[in-house]
């Protein structure tokens, strides 16, 4: 049985995927895992591969979702992205790591902040 935390994460990923599709990105893969970590969403934006980290919170009482993306997590995202590119024959192609931060609202739509190229060391 999924934990409340994993249910929250899955809900955020569904919201993020719909948001990205509304912007014209094409979802390729959900929850890509390697020994380095996991990338929530892999999408295409034109010729660029976009690796998306989704951070979801119910409130900002202990900080915003954006603030929860630690330098350690950023480094793991880059290593995981590079592994994806290698496995899919895209070494040297254009890529970036975006952040979609979602704060769920008790009485209304989720608040979404989408930060393109949120993590340094992208391949653009």
Q: For 48-80, what is each residue's pLDDT tens digit?
A: 999 999 999 988 888 888 888 899 999 999 999
Q: For residue range 11-34, what is the model confidence (pLDDT) as tens digits?
A: 999 999 999 999 999 999 999 999
The tokens for 21 are: 């599709």
| pTM reported for the whole predicted model | 0.91
Q: Which residues contact 51 (CB under 8 A, 6 or more apart)?
A: 39, 41, 42, 77, 80, 81, 84, 95, 96, 97, 98
Q: How far apart are CA 95 and CA 92, in angstroms?
A: 9
């Amino acid at each position: 049985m999924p934990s409340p935390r994993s249910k929250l994460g899955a809900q955020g990923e569904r919201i993020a995927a719909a948001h990205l599709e509304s912007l014209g990105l094409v979802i390729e893969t959900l929850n890509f895992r390697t020994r380095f970590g996991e990338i929530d969403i892999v999408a295409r934006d034109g010729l660029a591969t976009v690796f998306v980290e989704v951070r979801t919170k119910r409130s900002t009482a202990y900080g915003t979702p954006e603030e929860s993306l630690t330098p350690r997590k950023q480094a793991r995202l880059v290593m995981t992205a590079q592994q994806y590119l290698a496995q899919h024959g895209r070494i040297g192609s254009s890529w970036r790591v975006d952040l979609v931060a979602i704060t769920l609202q008790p009485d209304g739509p989720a608040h979404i902040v989408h930060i393109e190229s949120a993590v340094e060391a992208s391949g653009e």
